[in-house]
């Protein structure tokens, strides 16, 4: 639900809830969001209430909402942790969080370990079901494992053009039974049939934050001409199996782990 945080155009609240219901009806029952993604947690709360009203508790129990806590790096106290988690519970209209994904961008500030210990206490009380991470590196994850902290997942950017997790992260996570939740696997939609054979898009064509972000990834990876070669190769595979380019790119992210 990063797209509701801004940079992707106007979001109509009622239309968004209606679209969430359509996704649910075709089997998409897990939502990834964050406390800093604008109204994302509020959307989940409203969606849950509407789903309960229209389809009942059994259908409501099918959904999962994986939120994030992204505090400003600084001294973290138990009170700060409790207040922020309580805010997410209220906004999402839940009694416990299915997965709390913790993010911290300043490793020189050691309070992220305090935050994880306080979050672990809330997990032990049932307020959080599972604790995961977002964009932590392997070195910091090793520190957590050495400190006996139980982490179930790490969400990282991973795609056929951004294979950094394959170097250390994937082997580490396999060893310690930690799941990787990959984002950017189709580069915000750039790895798709839509961009096959197209000239490099102009700045005005890159009209969302996602497109601008992942176009920079493509530039760093090798540029638009090389990217077109990749799309052509993916297209040949896609045609052989009667699927889309995006399908092939997604399968790459899923299958690599099983080949290790």
- Measured distance CA(93)–CA(58) in Å, rounded: 16
Give the mean pLDDT of 33-40: 96
- Which pLDDT score, from 0 to 100, does residue 49 have? 97
Q: Among 194, 191, 200, 197, which residue's Cα sits nearest to residue 234? A: 191
Q: Among 68, 69, 63, 27, which residue's Cα sits nearest to residue 47? A: 63
Domains of the chain with CATH codes: 2-151 (3.20.20.100)
Q: How confident is the model at residue 260 (pLDDT cuts 50, 70, 90)?
A: very low
Q: CB burial class (10 A; 0-12, 13-18, 19+) of residue 160?
A: buried
- Which pLDDT score, from 0 to 100, does residue 253 have? 87
Q: Which pLDDT tens digit goes with each residue over 77-110? A: 999 999 999 999 999 999 999 999 999 999 999 9
Q: How many helices (H) and strands (E) does the chain have?
A: 10, 6
pTM above 0.85, yes or no: yes
- Flag whether pLDDT at 259 surpasses 60: no
Q: Which pLDDT tens digit goes with each residue over 159-206? A: 999 999 999 999 999 999 999 999 999 999 999 999 999 999 998 999
- Which pLDDT score, from 0 to 100, does residue 20 have? 96
- Measured distance CA(234)–CA(160) in Å, rounded: 10
């Amino acid at each position: 639900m990063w797209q509701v945080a801004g940079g992707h155009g106007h979001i109509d609240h009622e239309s968004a809830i209606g679209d969430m219901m359509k996704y649910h009806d075709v089997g998409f029952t897990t939502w990834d969001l964050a406390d800093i993604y604008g109204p994302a947690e509020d959307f989940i709360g409203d969606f849950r209430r509407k789903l309960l009203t229209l389809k009942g508790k059994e259908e409501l129990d099918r959904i999962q909402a994986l939120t994030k806590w992204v505090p400003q790096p600084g001294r973290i106290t138990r009170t700060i942790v409790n207040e922020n988690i309580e805010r997410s519970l209220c906004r999402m209209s839940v009694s416990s969080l299915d997965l709390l994904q913790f993010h911290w961008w300043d490793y020189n500030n050691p309070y992220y370990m305090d935050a994880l210990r306080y979050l672990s206490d809330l997990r032990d009380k049932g307020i959080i079901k599972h604790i995961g991470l977002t964009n932590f590196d392997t070195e910091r994850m090793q520190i957590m494992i050495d400190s006996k902290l139980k982490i179930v997942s790490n969400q990282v950017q991973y795609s056929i053009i951004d294979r950094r997790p394959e170097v250390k992260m994937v082997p580490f996570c396999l060893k310690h039974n930690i799941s990787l939740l990959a984002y950017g696997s189709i580069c915000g939609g750039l790895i798709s049939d839509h961009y096959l054979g197209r000239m490099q898009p102009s700045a005005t064509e890159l009209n969302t934050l996602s497109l601008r972000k992942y176009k920079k990834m493509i530039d760093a990876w090798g540029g638009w001409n090389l990217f077109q070669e990749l799309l052509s190769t993916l297209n040949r595979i896609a045609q052989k199996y009667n699927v889309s380019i995006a399908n092939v790119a997604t399968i790459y992210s899923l299958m690599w782990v099983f080949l290790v």
